[in-house]
Structure 1
């Protein structure tokens, strides 16, 4: 009998294992997940707002922590001036298009790095483009470094923008988004992603250290003279953050790098991030696939709130009071959420008359019921200071795709950006900025919101012609009302 029972036990055990695996596979299958939508992340619930009523999800502990909790402190010996022995260059990190180095020299549009291990330095095309040259020197006493010991020393961190290094190469600096949200924000992200010495970091939240505002920004090459945008935002941001004396333009650079100077044209940078759009597109598959220079550096580990010192510096320069810290992501800064509608009705890309009217009615109702405060702003008609002031304490930014949404940079981390597109069109530029600033991003097609899974499958510049054909953009008022009511409730819920 004992010999007959053993096979039966094995059969029962086998059946139990198969049953358990079947239950697990059903639980993990897409079909099963559809019926467990209450457990899905918030960004996936919103697009399903009409398909299945669901309770507002509980707020989890603040996840303002993309990959690392603070900037790693570099305790190695720092050199802030060249000497006859020529200090060694260190490659600190980054990605092509936003590379960070310690101890580099520049003379005659040639960047010199000194390191006996040549393979530890990135190749030229991964750092610079155009007419800028790249020399890796193994021996610090090499003839090419003659005179470098007397270089003009620029201490601290520098944002060095190589765009404009070739006269016939378009540099994209003369537009607000490409310059500030890609070149500049990408550079700040790169500096935040690498180790920093103690004197170059500051604490922005308990236990969270981020790099201080860099000392200066350098736009050295003559072909980049036209870096100012028509509305003056590029200049406002750079002068506001760095101060006018620390904005080194081509005219200033030509004086600093003049061989007639006592330092014979040699300039030394203690720490520099080299920004170069064409290096990024040449070597970064992600940046190239999205047609967004900064996409790859945005994907690197970085501490939360790394952009706070930059934002605070600009607000302080403009005499705008600093807003309170957001306690948790996608929570109201104050008692009531503040919604800012970026009105583009005086442009070629605008909401339909009916959609604009319904949006205004919905916002008016929400405000009249005391659920939120509302700012209805034609940002294109405001001065630079007024643009920043309009969004500096916003919780929700909503508008049709356009440069106005670039101002999400001046909204404290953890807000919500709602971008309205013509149906069957989508571009990623504001989405990648929302991600890096921990804003929740919700793109809308008339009467539905796209999930991340949906927009991730769309090709780059999907339906771009629909954004530029002059047709009005539709928006369903009923859908928007339900969406905003859910968001507002979530922002003030327990």
Structure 2
């Protein structure tokens, strides 16, 4: 009998050890924690298979949740006053290039930070660059703060764009994507990533609070005078979201910060995010490796739908109706999905004639069969409002890599972006924005879609020359038909 019992004992012990190892793995592995925590992403990114005949797995319906459910409320919000004996500076968070502070002064292009614990404040190079200076003061009676108690108060939240702080230094503001999708979107992300007082947040969905639209954007330095892009999108977005009076340019700043004013040139910010491209690239390995200023702030925890107030403010300003919210990520807003094809055939970066023809035919057939609504748009031929109208209720945007894909910002969260590349080339430009807005991102090489593992293994400027050598980009019609049909079915499926 004893001999018969030993195998059973060994079996029980072996099973116990295996269960213990499994339990330990689930509770120790960072990957496991990420998927079991209710404060972390619960949406897994679907795999897109390379073979045209492969099916795209459906997304399991779930709440949009990139990291945290709501902007934490700041319950230690001190009395706001420009008087240094009352208000000390608090560093709220962010990353170099997008740092957020409460109670901070500026005069003569120098920021004054008042805090007895100097080490709790970031160093100058992590916040500003160019000719902008940074002085940390411990004693509120320090002579450098004389006059600060009479400062002009900037209440609410401010986006302070320090790019252009050095004359002659290229600032990258005069293009749509670098300004709106990096500087501005990055600043909004930074504000969403730190605690906020209840008067600075709003509820966008039941139980989800996000920062309200910033009170103002300041572009103060003359070196940034050329911040308007050729198509006028930068100005349209900023003035549409904020209102004309809340966008302060160098000419406005010169008047506001003049010593002849009653406040003697002192300006006090209740809450400010300081955006500085060079600080980001200097101190953020991720931003520098991807050559994208906002990549690091995008990786910080933030609530879902934090961009909703910005998008709604712009739509309301342009008298564009606000669509109903998407029920789940990658689900159709209406009964039929809306596909928008951004056509670049009149530019040097375009599809082959055959590829463009096949894509147009596929889209036409999908619409004729009543499976989707289709918009075929040449964004370069449209004014700013028309560009935004083209995508405000889109479910799927498809187009070649280029600045026009920045308009994915105005597609409701949880859509799909299909970006077309020449074979063996890829840039992270629009993938970063897709991720922050919970859009599914699908890059295409002719007859296959890259998986996340594949594109993350590529270098930041992989095959960039192929986008600029004037050669046309191939696209397999059979593959794109299968891809779109599967996506459409998934978006409207049960």
TM, length-normalised to structure 2: 0.93
Instruction: Using the TM superposition, give the Cα deviation of residue 169 of structure 1 relative to its aligned residue in structure 2, in angstroms.
Output: 1.4
SS at match of 2:46: helix
Q: Which residue in 2 is equivalent to 1:64?
A: 64
Q: Which residue in 1 is equivalent to 2:390?
A: 390
SS at match of 1:303: coil
SS at match of 1:43: coil
Q: Deviations over 1:274-319 (max 9, x none)?
A: 0000000001011011000000000000000000000011011111
Q: Which residue in 2 is equivalent to 1:116?
A: 116
In structure 1, C-alpha distance between the alignment counterparts of 2:19 and 2:324, rounded to whole Å:
50
In structure 1, C-alpha distance between the alignment counterparts of 2:474 and 2:54, rounded to whole Å:
24
Q: Which residue in 1 is equivalent to 2:188?
A: 188
Q: Which residue in 1 is equivalent to 2:52?
A: 50
Indicate yes or no: 2:211 matched with 1:211: yes
Q: Deviations over 1:222-271 (max 9, x none)?
A: 10000000000000001001111111000100001101111000000000
Instruction: Using the TM superposition, give the Cα deviation of residue 76 of structure 1 relative to its aligned residue in structure 2, in angstroms.
Output: 1.4
Q: After the TM superposition, which residues 158-197 of structure 1 pair with which residues of structure 2 at under 5 Å, given as runs?
A: 158-197=158-197
In structure 2, C-alpha distance between the alignment counterparts of 1:101 and 1:313, rounded to whole Å:
25
Q: Which residue in 2 is equivalent to 1:377?
A: 377
Q: Which residue in 1 is equivalent to 2:477?
A: 477
Q: Which residue in 1 is equivalent to 2:27?
A: none
Change in 2 beyond 3 A, CA 1:156/1:101? same
Indicate yes or no: 2:228 matched with 1:228: yes
Q: Deviations over 1:316-349 (max 9, x none)?
A: 1111111111011000111100000000001100
Q: Deviations over 1:44-95 (max 9, x none)?
A: 1x324535457x53x5342311111000001113333212625100000000
In structure 2, C-alpha distance between the alignment counterparts of 1:84 and 1:98, rounded to whole Å:
24
Change in 2 beyond 3 A, CA 1:22/1:53? farther
Indicate yes or no: 2:358 matched with 1:355: no
Q: Is the 8 A contact 2:53 2:482 kept in 1?
A: no
Indicate yes or no: 2:151 matched with 1:151: yes
CA RMSD of aligned residues (A): 2.0
SS at match of 1:272: strand
TM, length-normalised to structure 1: 0.93
Give the number of equivalent residue pairs: 475
In structure 2, C-alpha distance between the alignment counterparts of 1:186 and 1:117, rounded to whole Å:
28
Q: Which residue in 1 is equivalent to 2:429?
A: 429
In structure 2, C-alpha distance between the alignment counterparts of 1:83 and 1:23, rounded to whole Å:
58
Q: After the TM superposition, which residues 438-477 of structure 1 pair with which residues of structure 2 at under 5 Å, given as runs?
A: 438-477=438-477
SS at match of 2:487: helix
Indicate yes or no: 2:305 matched with 1:305: yes
Q: Which residue in 1 is equivalent to 2:295?
A: 295
Instruction: Using the TM superposition, give the Cα deviation of residue 141 of structure 1 relative to its aligned residue in structure 2, in angstroms.
Output: 1.0
Q: Which residue in 1 is equivalent to 2:33?
A: none
Q: Is the 8 A contact 2:49 2:55 kept in 1?
A: no
Q: Is the 8 A contact 2:183 2:275 kept in 1?
A: yes
- Specify every segment of 5 or more residues in structure 1 that has no aligned partner in the other structure, as ranges: 25-39
Q: Which residue in 2 is equivalent to 1:283?
A: 283
- Specify every segment of 5 or more residues in structure 2 that has no aligned partner in the other structure, as ranges: 24-42
In structure 2, C-alpha distance between the alignment counterparts of 1:458 and 1:375, rounded to whole Å:
32
Change in 2 beyond 3 A, CA 1:390/1:143? same
Q: Which residue in 2 is equivalent to 1:316?
A: 316
SS at match of 2:339: strand
Q: Is the 8 A contact 1:348 1:470 kept in 2?
A: yes
In structure 2, C-alpha distance between the alignment counterparts of 1:328 and 1:215, rounded to whole Å:
31
Q: Is the 8 A contact 1:86 1:148 kept in 2?
A: no
SS at match of 1:404: helix
SS at match of 1:288: helix
Instruction: Using the TM superposition, give the Cα deviation of residue 387 of structure 1 relative to its aligned residue in structure 2, in angstroms.
Output: 0.4
Q: After the TM superposition, which residues 18-37 of structure 1 pair with which residues of structure 2 at under 5 Å, given as runs?
A: none
SS at match of 1:240: helix
